[in-house]
Amino acid sequence: MHELPITQNILEIALRHAEQAGASEIKRIDILIGQYSSFVDDSIQFYWKIIAAGTIAENAVLHFQRVPVEFTCQDCGAVYEPQEDTFACPRCLSPRVRVTRGEELRVESIEIETP
């Protein structure tokens, strides 16, 4: 249910930056979605058609880059994607670990056309 406001936010951010640059059209929007961000891109794409209609972003291609979650071991320095049933370090089995990637939810860049 929450992908509707997310889609509105993406449009608002893209339009604001495009306007500042004097764009006549937004052709592409690059978005980063971390695996731990609690959002999925399928329905964002669906809402886009309705929400962006009539704006300079209506034909924009939304490009989602999914960022897998990444842990870093505080003992041996291993950087890894955890297994399903444990987050512990696969190399030294240490439980002293930190989430270091995978929580992103950002508009990275837009591609625009200027007259």
Enumerate binding residues for other proteins (CB under 8 A). 1-2, 5-6, 9-10, 12-14, 17-18, 21, 23, 27, 31, 36-39, 69, 71, 84-88, 95-99, 103, 105-114
Nearer to Zn ion, 21 or 92 (CB): 92
CA neighbor of 13 nearest in space, from 38, 30, 36, 37: 30
Sign (positive or negative) of CA dihedral 69, 73, 79, 80: negative
By the rule CB under 5 A, 2 interacts with Zn ion: yes
**C-alpha distance from residue 8 to each of 17, 46, 48 (Å):** 14, 12, 8
Residue where the block lists tokens 């929580």 = 103
Minimum Å distance from CB 81 to Zn ion? Answer: 14
Residues forming contacts to Zn ion in the complex (CB under 5 A) are: 2, 73, 75-76, 78, 89, 91-92, 94
